[in-house]
Structures are given as structure tokens and as C-alpha cells.
């Protein structure tokens, strides 16, 4: 007996996406309040690299939108985006880290920095990979060749390497603060 399954309609996909976003927002707020499970991180794809972001350092996640280029800026500084009426600097962190830059696509997202970091900025993520639990990963020895904000690495059950990024440390890095050529 075969069951005929139809692809979800546009309204069903939007409803599922909305529910996913609400659930993710609730988890992020719980993490900020200290009521969520510890060790939960937001997984994102930056270029071809899997990265983890501390939920307390993330503001919001919005679909990629038009970014206005800024003249005489570093190649990793994509420009400015209007997110809910606020001008936000958009950084291609993959390119900043020396990797191939992220190419904006339908799955791309802008991940804003939390307000308490005092830095009106967003990272261009090729994809949001959902929440990851650090307790289920094996921490690797820190790589002294990497900057302090990106030196923690973890190995998941599928032997994939994840780099944990500390946005609070990143915004203190002099090079990150100099977007001009």
C-alpha cells in the first residue's frame, strides 16, 4: 500500500518556518535568561566552515536582504543593511577569517550581535544549521595559530569540526574595528 505524499504548499512551508523561528527565538531568550540548557550553541555555516555562536551573544536571525556597499571598505565588510529600521554593518566573517567568502543565497541569513556587545553588526551566514549541544561534542586542543575569538574547536558525532566563535572577543580585535582600507 503506497501513501501518496504531496509536497507542502507555500502556506504550509511558511507556517513551519514561522514555528521553527518562534521555537528558536524562545530557546535563544531562555539561554539569555539563564533558564535554558547550558552548552547550547547556534550552528551556522560561514563559507564552508561550521561555526558555533553563543546564544547570549546573538541578537536575532533575519533572512538575507539588500546590503548597500560602503566605498573604500575592506572586502570582508559587505556594507550596511536596514534591519527593522536600524542600520547594521554586515560582515562576511568567512572572508575575514581568510576563507572563501559566503555567497548570499535563499538560505542565507544575517545574524546580528546581541545589544549588550555594543556593536551594531551582523554576520552573513550561508545557512543557519540550528542548535547544537556542546555536551554531545568532543572539545579539541586549542589551536594557538588561531585568534583567541576562534580558537575553540569541537568534533561532533559525525567527525565534523565546529569552530566556536566568541563575538565579545571579536569586537575587541583592532583589525575587526578597522573596516576602511
Tens digits of per-residue pLDDT, 165-175? 999 999 999 99
With a cut of 50, say whether residue 143 has pLDDT above it: yes
Rounded to 5, what percent of the chain is helix, strand, coil? 25, 35, 40
47: left (phi over 0), alpha (psi -120 to 50) or beta: left
Q: Check residue 17 and give its pLDDT.
A: 65
How far, in Å, are 13, 21, 84, 110, 163 from residue 60 at the CA level?
21, 10, 11, 8, 20
Q: Check residue 35 and give its pLDDT.
A: 45
Tens digits of per-residue pLDDT, 84-109? 999 999 999 999 999 988 889 999 99
Q: 121-125 and 86-91 as β-strands: parallel, antiparallel, unpaired?
A: parallel
What grid cell was written down for 155?
Answer: 568534533
Q: Are 137 and 162 in contact (CB under 8 A)?
A: yes
Length, in residues, of the chain: 181
Residue 43 CB burial class (10 angstroms; 0-12, 13-18, ≥19): middle
Give kind and range of the element (H or E) at residue 62: strand 58-63
Phi, psi of 73 (to 5 degrees): -105, 160
Average pLDDT, the chain: 87
Q: What is the mean pLDDT of residues 44-71?
A: 96
**Topology adopted by domain 13-32+40-177:** OB fold (Dihydrolipoamide Acetyltransferase, E2P) (2.40.50)
Amino acid at each position: 500500500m503506497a501513501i501518496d505524499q504531496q509536497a507542502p504548499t507555500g502556506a504550509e512551508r511558511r507556517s513551519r518556518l514561522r514555528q521553527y523561528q518562534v521555537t528558536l527565538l524562545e530557546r535563544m531568550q531562555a539561554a539569555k535568561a539563564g533558564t535554558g540548557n547550558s552548552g547550547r550553541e547556534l550552528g551556522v555555516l560561514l563559507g564552508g566552515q561550521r561555526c558555533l555562536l553563543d546564544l547570549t551573544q546573538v541578537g536575532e536571525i533575519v533572512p538575507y536582504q539588500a546590503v548597500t556597499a560602503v566605498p573604500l571598505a575592506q572586502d570582508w565588510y559587505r556594507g550596511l543593511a536596514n534591519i527593522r529600521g536600524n542600520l547594521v554593518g554586515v560582515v562576511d566573517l568567512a572572508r575575514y577569517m581568510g576563507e572563501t567568502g559566503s555567497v548570499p543565497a535563499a538560505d542565507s541569513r544575517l545574524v546580528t550581535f546581541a545589544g549588550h556587545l555594543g556593536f551594531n553588526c551582523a554576520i552573513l551566514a550561508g545557512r543557519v544549521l540550528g542548535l547544537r549541544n556542546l555536551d554531545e561534542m568532543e572539545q579539541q586542543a586549542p589551536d594557538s595559530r588561531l585568534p583567541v575569538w576562534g580558537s575553540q574547536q569541537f568534533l561532533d558525532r559525525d567527525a565534523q569540526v565546529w569552530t566556536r566563535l566568541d563575538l565579545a572577543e571579536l569586537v575587541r580585535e583592532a583589525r575587526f574595528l578597522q573596516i576602511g582600507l
